[in-house]
Copies of this chain bind each other. A is one copy, B any other.
Amino acid sequence: MNAVVAPPPTAVTAASALAAQFARVRARSVALAAPLSAEDAMVQSMPDASPSKWHLAHTTWFFERFVLATQPDYVAFDADWHYLFNSYYQSIGPAHARPQRGLLSRPSLDEVLRFRSLIDQRVLAALQADALDEQATRQLVLGLHHEQQHQELLLTDIKHALWSNPLQPAYRDDLPRSTGTASPLAWIHSPEQIVEIGAPAWPAHATFAYDNESPVHRVLVPAHALANRPVSNSEFRRFVEAGGYREPAHWMSEGWSLCQQEHWQHPLYWDDALAREFTLAGWRALDPDAPVCHLSYFEADAYARWAGARLPTEFEWEAAAAGQAQQGNFADSGRLHPAAPDQGSAPDRHLQLFGDVWEWTSSAYGAYPGFRTFEGNLGEYNGKFMCGQWVLRGGSCATPADHIRPSYRNFFAPSARWQFAGLRLAKDAA
C-alpha cells in the first residue's frame, strides 16, 4: 500500500520507477494550474493561503535545494530565488515573509514554469545517471509527497482566492455533479482494545510515511461508537437553522469569540439562504446528501456537541480505518468536491473514511512516544508545528489518491475553514 520505494529488485528498476513517479507527480501540479491565468496564479487572498505560482515555484525549489544542491558544484537556477521560495526552513536561511507572497509579480508564471521544466530535466538526468546518493534520493521521495500536499493547497488556496473576488469566478466550469444519496446514519460500536497506531519509521522502513506518523506504538482505545459516515449538508443545515451559530453553550470559548468576531453564520462557502455553496465550479445548489465541508474545528466540535455526540480521537479513527480499502472520492476523480457515494452500503460498515472531506478529530497534534524528526534540515518539516494544531484524518476530494494512508496525520489550526474539512460523529460507550 502506497509504497513509494518498492523493495528494489535492482537499483536500476527502482530509479526508473522513481523517475516515472517524479514525472507524473510534477506534471500533475502543472495540470492543476492550467486553468489559471498568470494573474489568477498570483493572488494571495489571506496570509494562510499562498499564490498558485508560489506553490509551483516552492515545490520546485524543494527539489533544487534538497536534491540537486546536494551535488558538489551545483549552480542554482537563480540564487536570489532561494530567499523567495524557501517557506519556513530557518536552518537553511531567511525566507520571504509569508503574507507578502502575493506581491511577487516577478518571477513571472512563465519563468516559474521554465524553472520547473529545467529542474525536472536536471532531476531526471541525475536519476538516469544514477548520480543521487542515498540522502538525495530520500529527499527526492519526500519531495514528491511534499508536492502532493501542495497540490491540495493549490486547490484550496485558489478556491479562496476566487471566492474573495467579488466576481466569484469558477476555477473550472466543467466539473461533474454528484448524484449519490447519503446512507442513513448508523453507529458502529467498538469495545475497549489496545491498537497499534502509526507507521514504521521511514526511511529505515522502505514504505514512506512522514516522521509524525512514527513510530508504531500501542494505544488503549476505550469502548466507543463511530458514525458510519460523515455529517451531511442537510444535517448541518438543521444545526444552523436551530440557531447553532447563536448559542454559546455549544461552543468552545475561543470558538465562540471567533464566531462572534467574524460574524460566522454558516459554513464558509454557503450563501446566507443556506441554499447554495461556492465550489471550484462556482456557485452550485447545496447537495443535501454530500458531506458538509469547509468547517473549522470549532464548528465541527459545536455541531457534535449539539448533536449529543463528540468528535472521535485520531486513534478511534485510525483503528476504524486500519483494515479498510483505501477507496474514495479523491482528487483523481476529477470531481474536486465532496459527494455522497453512488452506491449505498450496509449500515455496519464505515463509509467515506477516505476522500471527500478531511475529518476533524479531537486530538491535538502532538508527538507519538519515541517520535524523531527527519534528519538534517528537513527536521523542520513537521515537528515544530506540534502545538496549537488539531489532527485531521482520511484525505479529501482534493487529495491525490496515492498520497493518503490510514496513519496519515494532517493538521490545521482550529480556526481554519478553507480546507475541505468536515466531521464524523463519535460517542462514548453508554
- How many angstroms between the C-alpha atoms of A364 and B367 in the bound complex? 11
A39 partner, pick from B91, B109, B255, beta carbons under 8 A = B109
**A316 and chain B: residue at smallest CB distance:** B369
Question: By the criterion CB–CB under 8 Å, are A366 and B364 in contact?
Answer: yes
Q: What residues on B are CB-neighbors of A161 within 8 Å? A: 103, 105
Interface membership of chain A positions 335-375, coded 1 if the CB is closer than 8 angstroms to chain B and 0 otherwise: 00000000000000000000000000011101101100000
Question: By the criterion CB–CB under 8 Å, are A164 and B387 in contact?
Answer: no
Q: Does A77 contact B (CB under 8 A)?
A: no
Residue with the greatest number of chain B CB neighbours at <10 A, chosen from A38, A96, A379, A414: A38
Q: Which of A161-203 contact B (CB under 8 A)?
A: 161, 164-167, 169, 192, 194
Q: Does A70 contact B (CB under 8 A)?
A: no
- How many angstroms between the C-alpha atoms of A300 and B140 in the bound complex? 35
Residue with the greatest number of chain B CB neighbours at <10 A, chosen from A39, A103, A167: A39
Question: By the criterion CB–CB under 8 Å, are A192 and B166 in contact?
Answer: no
Interchain nearest-CB distance for A112 vs B (Å): 10
Q: Does A386 contact B (CB under 8 A)?
A: yes
Question: By the criterion CB–CB under 8 Å, are A297 and B42 in contact?
Answer: no
Interchain nearest-CB distance for A353 vs B (Å): 21
Interchain nearest-CB distance for A237 vs B (Å): 24
A38-B39, A253-B88, A388-B388 known; A224 vs B103 contact (CB < 8 Å):
no
- How many angstroms between the C-alpha atoms of A167 and B100 in the bound complex? 13
Total interface residues on A, CB under 8 Å, equals 68
Q: Does A48 contact B (CB under 8 A)?
A: no
Question: By the criterion CB–CB under 8 Å, are B102 and A102 in contact?
Answer: yes
Interchain nearest-CB distance for A298 vs B (Å): 8
Q: What residues on B are CB-neighbors of A165 within 8 Å? A: 103-106
Interchain nearest-CB distance for A217 vs B (Å): 6
**A389 and chain B: residue at smallest CB distance:** B254
Q: What residues on B are CB-neighbors of A210 within 8 Å? A: none
Question: By the criterion CB–CB under 8 Å, are B106 and A248 in contact?
Answer: no
Question: By the criterion CB–CB under 8 Å, are A40 and B105 in contact?
Answer: yes
**A426 and chain B: residue at smallest CB distance:** B369
Interchain nearest-CB distance for A369 vs B (Å): 4
Q: Which of A206-236 contact B (CB under 8 A)?
A: 217-220, 222, 224
Q: Which of A69-109 contact B (CB under 8 A)?
A: 80, 83-84, 88, 90-91, 96, 100, 102-109
Which applies to chain A's interface (DSSP): helix, strand, loop or mixed?
A: mixed
A96-B166, A219-B220, A387-B414 known; A105 vs B42 contact (CB < 8 Å):
yes
Residue with the greatest number of chain B CB neighbours at <10 A, chosen from A167, A301, A310: A167
Interface membership of chain A positions 296-309, coded 1 if the CB is closer than 8 angstroms to chain B and 0 otherwise: 01100100000000
A100 partner, pick from B164, B380, B388, beta carbons under 8 A = B164
Q: What residues on B are CB-neighbors of A42 within 8 Å? A: 39, 42, 105
Q: Does A385 contact B (CB under 8 A)?
A: yes
A167 partner, pick from B107, B194, B310, B386, beta carbons under 8 A = B107
- How many angstroms between the C-alpha atoms of A37 and B84 in the bound complex? 19
- How many angstroms between the C-alpha atoms of A84 and B169 in the bound complex? 14
Q: Does A263 contact B (CB under 8 A)?
A: no
22 contacts between A and B (CB under 8 A): A38-B38, A39-B42, A44-B103, A80-B166, A90-B256, A91-B248, A91-B249, A96-B166, A102-B102, A104-B165, A106-B167, A106-B169, A107-B167, A194-B220, A217-B222, A222-B369, A253-B385, A253-B387, A256-B384, A301-B387, A363-B366, A387-B414
What 10 pairs between A and B have smallest CB-CB spacing?
A: A364-B364, A220-B220, A39-B105, A253-B384, A40-B105, A252-B387, A222-B369, A90-B248, A370-B428, A43-B105
Q: Beyond the given A37-B105, A42-B105, please list 5 additional residue pairs across the A-B interface where CB-CB is below 8 A.
A: A42-B42, A84-B167, A219-B220, A251-B384, A252-B386
